[in-house]
Amino acid sequence: MTFNSVTFLVFFALVLGVYWMVAPRWRNPILLVSSYVFYGWWDWRFLGLLVISTLVDFTVGRKLYRAKTDRRRGQLLTVSLVVNLGILGIFKYFNFFVDGAVDLLNSLGVEANPTTLKVVLPVGISFYTFQTISYTFDIYRRRLEPTNDLIAFGTYVSYFPQLVAGPIERAQNLMPQILDPVRSFPDDQGRREAARLILVGLIKKVVLADGVARLSNEAFSQADSASAVVLVVGVVAFAIQIYGDFSGYTDIARGVSKLLGIDLMVNFTQPYLSRNITEFWRRWHISLSNWLRDYLYISLGGNRSGTLRTYRNLMITMLLGGLWHGASWNFVIWGGLHGIYLVIHKLMRGGEVDPSEPRWSQIGSILLTNVAVLFAWVFFRAANFTEAIDVIVGIVTLRGGSAERYDVLILIGYATATIALDLVERRRSVANAASIPPRRFGPMTSGALVATMLVAVVVWSGGTPVPFIYFQF
């Protein structure tokens, strides 16, 4: 069940109607049941993993809060980490590490045969695992008190708008809203904002991401023979695709959640307008960036133990951040490249970020940042290391060959639309920060614009919903 399907439209309409008709005390049970139905739609067998994570961290959180000694608190935190990371490791990384060990032994002359598990990767396991770990960690650090409401905590873990692709919410933000007994139906402004988020999210996903995907797929499928022009078009197309797909999901999740009276955090703020790589990571997948900073980078020592250890901690954090995306060396390389970028930025500029909004006079820095990001995207998108090298070699050597000029024009159209959306969102954020209401169109113009966007979503969808890219992570 995906946000861009008729099935979800029917499902959410039913949930929303029942949710607001019942007494407040029944809303969390309805959310919990709805979330389990939503997740079980893919494979009901994996509901057991949600139950295990919920019961373990609910129990550990309460015992951790009451623990008297640091030793006991450390033991309880270890239980949470072992269970959650153990589940994640088995379902996501077991085959990856077994294959790696077998390759190493064979290279040393020791004959070994792999023993792999034939399991399906549970949708969204990386997201809800990190969310439950953060809950236990915050209690351990005495930043959070545990809840005694198992239904509310179960809702926090499995909340369906953000369950399978984020944002990775913190208990400090989401739990108080879930526990609020008097949350009310959004007012006119809230409903308009929810509708805007859902519509813009669908445009990003169905029109931009799914529309431009063909250019990326064609380029990478012929990585060893396509011309440099085709490969550049494919790499840029993928950058647009993954941004539209992932940020579109987040927009829809936030819009759907607003209609339930709950606010989710912003996960993207125009990342391709970033002037350096540090700023990029403050604008791209913000919930993951913050999670890695707070629970991994700081736990490793952050920048408290000297320059070299700071760089080491950055590299470890980004390498593991890359591995979080999937069991592939390509993701590790992608994370490592971003770690190197961050280290270079710290060396050159101290890692400082200009707090002001990007200006046209800074276009050079923006383009340079995007070139670095695009280079790393090659490894993220490629099926394997060989394919990634084929793409890079084809571009660097200016490989000749035919190139469909209309594809270049199509890419320019998609890039222009993406930049235009980002600039509009940037203008809205600046206006809201300054408490200036954005300029509104008249009713006729607004109606025509909304109708055009809805028609575009229907036409581009082709009647077959395409899954979101981050469902595989």
**Which residues carry out catalysis?**
325
Distance CA(232)–CA(252), nearest Å, equals: 30
Between the alpha carbon of residue 470 and those of residues 242, 337, 373, the distances in Å are: 9, 20, 18
CB 103 within 8 A of CB 79: no
Omega cis (within 30) before 271: no
Give, in order, the Cα–Cα distances in Å from 202 to each of 214, 283, 333, 455: 18, 20, 31, 11
Angstrom distance (rounded) from CA 161 to CA 11: 12
Q: How far apart are CA 242 and CA 204, in angstroms?
A: 10
What single string gives the DSSP state of each residue in 143-200? S-PPPS-HHHHHHHHH-GGGTTT-----HHHHHHHHH-TT-----HHHHHHHHHHHHH
* Kind plus residue range of the DSSP H or E element containing 59: helix 47-66
Give the number of other Cβ atoms within 10 Å of residue 192's Cβ: 12
Residue pair 73/146 in contact (Cβ under 8 Å)? The answer is no
Contacts of 49 by beta carbon, 8 Å cutoff, 6+ apart: 87, 91, 122, 125
Which amino acid is residue 158, in one-letter code?
S
Rounded to whole angstroms, how far apart are CA atoms 419 and 162? 25
Other C-beta atoms lying within 10 Å of the C-beta of residue 375: 15
Residue 3's region, left for phi above 0, alpha for psi from -120 to 50, else beta, is alpha
Report the residue count for the chain. 473
CB count, 10 Å around CB of 284?
23
Cα–Cα distance between 5 and 461 in angstroms, integer?
A: 9
